[in-house]
Chain A
């Protein structure tokens, strides 16, 4: 009984860490550019497919690490391309609705391009550990999942260091808080936009590799991560990075425990119910501060 609880909590942490990774990108992009990108999950999908192909080419450990790097690169570039061509032209011109609509268009486009090129059959990212399992005090899980958890936390850590210690990272945070002041301080807004999008997308791409590792890889897989990422972002407060990190773990654990103890069928509804509560009671998010105008 007890170990089931711990087991599910661990599962929740693992999935949650992936949610955090994907959501961080989304919340960063929203914080800096005020763009709500409904295609965000498709960045994860592209990352996952990148991994499928890299690992088919270079199997094992090296392949896995290589595929993560490749995913980050490929999706990073995709992010820059979509930012320049689709989002940037709209940024000061149109309304919220337009942004969301155009990202929905991108979502439909990417999803179906993937279907066109890769076919609808789900693929698997081969397990470099060859299904080895690990046992910690009565709970067992696959080495692969543990790797995912460790890697997510590592990636989040690296991001934090980047945002807090590096010049560019601080510039991004500044722009997120006050676009105009940042420009006055001599920060090149264009560079920041490109960088934010690249990093945000790359994180989603890496998250996609991990997501695809645990679940299957198929062209329509982007919808779930998109919705989960938005749920996490709202839980944590849109634009709030720390909130996205904690929110991801919270969602992961809530889904895992809720799914097992309450109802498996409605597992995916748990996130939506949570955000309905949050939006009614604390619209700025569980970790958000009161918005300053």
Chain B
């Protein structure tokens, strides 16, 4: 919240590193993972806005991702216009569905809302499977065009290689981070958190909780849609599985392990688990065992039982301990 000089310097340094990363590690495989980590980061940040800050348990998040992906792909493939329009269309249509899904949340909460949102996503997934004329059913859409080239002065990005996608996704992540951070650290954000902590209390201080929920759902869906659209042009293949419950569960696991209700948490969770996932893949090849998801499940359970604040909470706790140790040392008292 109050950014000190050191924090700002660290952030600046971090951004510089991120910008020159493709020059430091030229390996395409690494950049591919980095792009996926970025896409997941947008997913986790947007889910967290709804779940962590507004307290609405949306288990249909994958639907927004899928809608963004399909929309952008179809716009590019059927209308032949620049994929950047598709990106916006994907985000926009996802936002519209987010708004719709907000309505059940006005009356439902907890498991009831969870099941309704799952139902919503499942129904959309069935539509994707069965509306074959539009979506090619279970086969999905393949051969999705690359992102349309952009020209900056004399330099053109053609998106033939991961590196170009990396920069676009990085820009999207930074934009998403900026927006979500501004949303949550503002009068809007404090209102959402009030709504989360006690809905009736929030109403008693003039918060129109229904409108705030709808707004949160719409914003959350918009960013998830953008992530989906980026995914479509990067992976160049979308299928009904893009909207499956597993995508939602991945998002949720990353957010919880990173730290629900914080800004760093989703980022940490998404990046850490995406890279961990890849590392596990190589381990799996070695062990001939499929343990990645087993580990996910285990980590999720352990996090909730023992590390409720996620990795961020863990670090904060350690920092506190460190600071109080410093303090007692300064006083000269022999502690412990």
Contact = CB atoms under 8 A, between A and B. Distances in A.
Interface string B278-305: 0000000000011101101111110111
Contact of A279 (B104, B293, B303): B104
Contacts, number: 127
Interface string A238-267: 100000000000000000000000000110
B56 to A, nearest CB: 10
Interface string B240-278: 000001000100110010000000000000000000000
A90 B335 CA distance: 33
A111 B298 CA distance: 12
Interface in B48-103: 51, 55, 57
A36 B296 CA distance: 20
B237 interface: no
A280 interface: yes
A115 interface: yes
Which among A110, A112, A113 has the greatest number of chain B C-beta atoms within 10 A?
A112
A104 B300 contact: yes
A179 interface: no
Nearest to B298: A109
B230 interface: no
B293 A102 contact: no
A272 B122 contact: yes
B111 interface: yes
B123 interface: yes
A106 B115 contact: no
Nearest to B131: A265
Among A30, A104, A111, A113: residue with most chain B CB under 10 A: A104
A108 B122 contact: no
A227 B125 CA distance: 15
Contacts of B245: 223
Interface in B204-254: 245, 249, 252-253
A34 to B, nearest CB: 10
Interface in A53-101: 86, 89-90, 94, 96-98, 100-101
Contact of A94 (B118, B123, B308): B308
Contact of A108 (B57, B120, B293, B308): B293
Nearest to B103: A280
Contacts of B116: 272, 275-276, 279
Contacts of A238: 111-112
B12 interface: no
Contact of A227 (B122, B256, B297): B122
A123 interface: no
A109 B301 contact: yes
A105 interface: yes
A283 interface: yes
B110 A108 contact: no
A170 interface: no
Interface string B160-193: 0000000000000000000000000000000000
A19 interface: no
A112 to B, nearest CB: 4
A146 B290 CA distance: 38
Nearest to B296: A108
B62 to A, nearest CB: 13
A279 B112 contact: yes
B111 A104 contact: no
B304 A98 contact: yes
Interface in A274-288: 275-276, 279-280, 283
A107 interface: yes
B202 interface: no
Interface centre among B111, B120, B126 (most CB of A within 10 A): B111
Contact of B110 (A89, A90, A100, A104): A100
- Most interface-central of B104, B109, B300, B304 (chain A CB within 10 A): B304
21 contacts: A30-B111, A86-B301, A96-B57, A97-B55, A100-B110, A102-B301, A104-B300, A105-B298, A109-B294, A112-B293, A113-B294, A115-B293, A223-B245, A234-B112, A238-B111, A265-B126, A265-B129, A272-B123, A275-B116, A276-B119, A279-B104
